[in-house]
A and B are shown apart, each in its own frame.
Chain A
């Protein structure tokens, strides 16, 4: 094999059954703790070059000229490419709308847009050469918010739109608009005893996965290219890459390299096309690895949002109506904005039953950084606002905030504002009850016989308080997230499962294109194969494009959809194995013909438990292999005027209770505990499920109290692209996170499971905000909350 660090097969043997429902350990765990696991940035190839991208230093400008002569003349530089060097007529890409230039053409639309690429024999040579490229910009006015975007004389971010959304937006600087109208808000308002309004701001959050964008493109003898890449969806990348290179898809081979986290940030392309272009141009393998600074420019972020809400309720706390306007800043390119709009609008009232709803969500084109997928995907911003509204309503009504939520909680059968019935368990009230029932962390934990332990206090070892001015607050929130791709998307996955005897033992091989990004899909795949095929040895084949698409590792969908595909393929393999058995051994026992047969413990058994044969004997020298696509129930698009339609596949619910302590004098917050209760339908791997919930909860905590990409409103330039200035929670910032897992089966889903990954990211943020409000008495209409917001010094 020419390439070092090519993913090797992971074989997991298990003395136990290791099927679904058990906390089996990660098959890649040992590789990851020994440093042997090959991430995309670890790839190495003899004779390889390093690629570097030159990015725009301004947000919005015409490119007057680009001079690459000095860069090209630098010793060690093999290639410099600009827009003019692109090999085909296809020079743009995009998830849904192909509006993103591979390299800037005539204009840049956001700070950090790729303008030119360089390949050199040392990364520092590539960096220095890129810095020698002279780009002459003529700056244009920047579009940074709704007012500037939709002004009658606004500069258009994209002049010649011809995408399928342009017909239903009122301004070309609006990517997509989705109204959701149900019932009659005007009439319902008349029934309300209390109406509360609020205007909320959600800051721009970064996925901040730790493994920066990276990959290695290796030119192949047939004129094609092999890309080893960290991504969330190999086939989506392939579909976008191949036309730009002018290659048929079968000449662009893609193998998943180790992925250091994703959280939505790898749904769009980053360096994929650039590495392939340089490899094909130079005839040499090219590796590109972003540093952290570049990573902040190299992927889309979570949409910052302005949210305007009106909630009405009767005196006994029943919601009469919800009216909302959600304005998401999509930045310079569309990315996943249309789908984010669909989520924000359709889930905009939260997990509550309310008949009269009028919601509008839009995403803007601006010159801010492009925004797209991040864990929670549109539902996060809405949850922050509607949960603040529920607290406001509770305060006005004099009803306990949890009680108010429970009175309005949706149940199985409740209609969403889209008119779609929730046709599986929706234990919203129960999750709130559970999270409220958890024991409270003791008060004044910092007190000890030796005085205050400052590590337990706001400010920590900065030693800013010994308890003076510290006030505790408790807050609750609950949320609803859709699972899987919605709005009529053909959201399928493919699995190839093979069964054969290896070394005297039956072994199942599972081959999918699923991107393992850390979530533990590989663990669950092996568990499913063991459960369905009764083997202990399961080999997980590296993910690549030699098997059909698995869809994206996002939308909490992989265990559902690729898990479902594996189960389906296993069922077909089982049928074939039993057929083989009947043919070979059927005459020995009548049960072969008549009984319900299962594969368990390496044997064919009757449903009564009688052993008919060893799988080793049934299979002999033969291998049984099946590759099949699998689909969940179809969905349909939302009506463009009313938002009505059965747009979603499944829902995931989580509730949080946050306990915080605030140094009210300095505005410092310490989150003491962040308890979560979540319904997961069926926990295929309980250890991983809890890990997902705790990780998602912590990302919600981050955007509550620290995480925000700051964009200068005058220049649209990013001010904090580093881990020094963009803060994510450390182990000191993160509290204990007790988790209560509820398992109410969704009968429509494989094993009754529910997607897990995103729901905890929703309610975590508003719970922390509610707790800070409870501690301070402040209104706090934006997140993240910074000290100046608590001390009145902003």
Chain B
């Protein structure tokens, strides 16, 4: 089957999709967006978290066909999404078509990733030491960014609740807490 949906503001079309394929599989294997990770394939670990019409979902549990006509934001589009929110598009999800046309995938020629414009939560994860192996990071970033959109000044309990669906095996979560607190603080200071 053919699936049409919007990913990080860009209209995408996936052909020859087998009906059993998940949204995660189509993103990773058909659209060249492997940022969302597959670590359990049953919605327990949150590594594949993306936003579907603004709502965080485990993309491994979403059949690709269910995404038809809908808007998806993945970690690859997170910086752009945050930028638009900061510009006042906040509250809405996804990207307007005009803005989407200005968006291009981060170049694969980037050797360092340095110079890439990051969202506040992405930068905070690096600065706070919340990234070790990094496999859980994309899902955590999408979930944390969504929480900060809803709750710009979260309590620790809010953070823990919002991220309770995302497993991390490296950090013991302390640096992740630090990172989300840092992102919230920077966001409220307008940094």
Residues of A within 8 A of B (CB): 4-5, 8-13, 23, 25-39, 41-42, 44, 122, 124, 207-212, 258-263, 289, 291-292, 453, 455-456, 461, 517-520, 687-688, 690-691, 694-699, 722-724, 728-732, 734, 736-737
Contact = CB atoms under 8 A, between A and B. Distances in A.
A461 B173 CA distance: 19
Contacts of A122: 18
B134 to A, nearest CB: 3
Contacts of A31: 112-113
Interface residues of B, number: 67
Nearest to B132: A518
Contact of B35 (A35, A461, A520, A732): A35
B83 to A, nearest CB: 13
A183 B166 CA distance: 51
* Most chain B CB neighbours (cut-off 10 Å) among A37, A519, A724, A737: A37
Contacts of B129: 23, 25, 687-688, 690-691
A723 B99 CA distance: 39
A262 B39 CA distance: 13
B113 A209 contact: no
A213 B176 CA distance: 25
A731 B111 contact: no
Contacts of A30: 112-114, 116, 118, 126
B59 interface: no
Contacts of B44: 722-724
B42 interface: yes
B112 A27 contact: yes
A701 to B, nearest CB: 8
24 contacts: A23-B129, A30-B116, A33-B118, A33-B122, A34-B113, A34-B116, A34-B118, A35-B36, A39-B34, A39-B135, A122-B18, A209-B169, A210-B39, A261-B133, A261-B135, A455-B160, A517-B133, A518-B170, A691-B171, A696-B172, A698-B171, A722-B42, A731-B164, A731-B173
Ranked 3 nearest A-B pairs via Cβ: A35-B35, A518-B133, A30-B113
* Most chain B CB neighbours (cut-off 10 Å) among A27, A33, A42, A453: A33
B160 A732 contact: yes
Contacts of A519: 132
Main secondary structure of the interface of B (DSSP, over half): loop
A731 B176 contact: yes
Contacts of B127: 25
Contacts of A37: 134
B20 A32 contact: no
A602 B73 CA distance: 44
Contacts of A4: 32
Contact of A210 (B75, B136, B160, B161): B136
Contacts of B157: 453, 455-456
B85 interface: no
A723 B175 CA distance: 23
Contacts of A207: 169
Contacts of A208: 169
A268 B161 CA distance: 36
Contacts of A13: 114
B178 to A, nearest CB: 10
Interface string B161-191: 1011111111111111100000000000000
Nearest to B117: A34
Interface in B32-82: 32-42, 44-45, 47, 74-76, 78-79
Contacts of B35: 34-36
Given A11-B112, A35-B34, A728-B167, A520 B39 contact: no
B172 A41 contact: no
Given A10-B112, A263-B169, A698-B172, 19 more contacts: A28-B113, A30-B112, A33-B126, A34-B118, A35-B76, A39-B34, A209-B133, A259-B133, A261-B135, A518-B134, A520-B132, A690-B175, A691-B132, A694-B175, A723-B39, A723-B167, A728-B167, A731-B177, A737-B174
B7 interface: no
Nearest to B158: A455
Contact of A211 (B78, B111, B133, B141): B133
B95 interface: no
A292 B165 CA distance: 16
A32 B114 CA distance: 11
B110 A292 contact: no
Given A8-B111, A29-B126, A34 B79 contact: yes
Given A33-B131, A698-B172, A210 B76 contact: no
A696 B175 CA distance: 13
B149 interface: no
Given A36-B106, A694-B172, A212 B39 contact: yes
Contacts of B138: 33, 35
Given A10-B111, A26-B126, A694 B171 contact: yes
B5 interface: no
A736 B160 CA distance: 11
A261 B160 contact: no
A33 B140 CA distance: 10
B60 to A, nearest CB: 10
Contacts of B171: 691, 694-695, 698
Nearest to B164: A732
Given A455-B160, A723-B45, A732-B164, A35 B125 contact: no
Contacts of B38: 41, 212, 289, 291
B37 A39 contact: yes
* Most chain A CB neighbours (cut-off 10 Å) among B18, B37, B132, B169: B169
A455 B162 CA distance: 12
A10 B134 CA distance: 16
B179 to A, nearest CB: 10
B6 interface: no
A260 B160 contact: no
* Most chain B CB neighbours (cut-off 10 Å) among A27, A687, A699, A734: A734
B186 to A, nearest CB: 15
A292 B41 contact: yes
Contacts of B111: 8-11
B104 to A, nearest CB: 13
Contacts of B45: 210, 292, 723
B164 A723 contact: no
Nearest to B118: A33
B34 A5 contact: yes
B119 to A, nearest CB: 9
Contacts of A691: 129, 132, 170-172, 175
B163 to A, nearest CB: 5
B113 A737 contact: no
A35 B33 contact: yes
A263 B167 CA distance: 15
Contacts of A724: 42, 44
A27 B113 CA distance: 9
Nearest to B47: A210
A210 B123 CA distance: 22
Contacts of B33: 35
A697 B112 contact: no
Contacts of B40: 291-292, 722-723
B7 to A, nearest CB: 12
Contact of B172 (A34, A211, A453, A734): A734
A517 B133 CA distance: 6
A695 B170 contact: yes
Nearest to B140: A731
A211 B37 contact: yes
A440 to B, nearest CB: 18
Contacts of A695: 132, 169-172
A590 to B, nearest CB: 42
A122 B29 CA distance: 10
Contact of B110 (A36, A211, A732): A36
Nearest to B157: A455
* Most chain B CB neighbours (cut-off 10 Å) among A38, A260, A291, A517: A260
Nearest to A701: B172
B134 A28 contact: yes
A211 B36 CA distance: 12
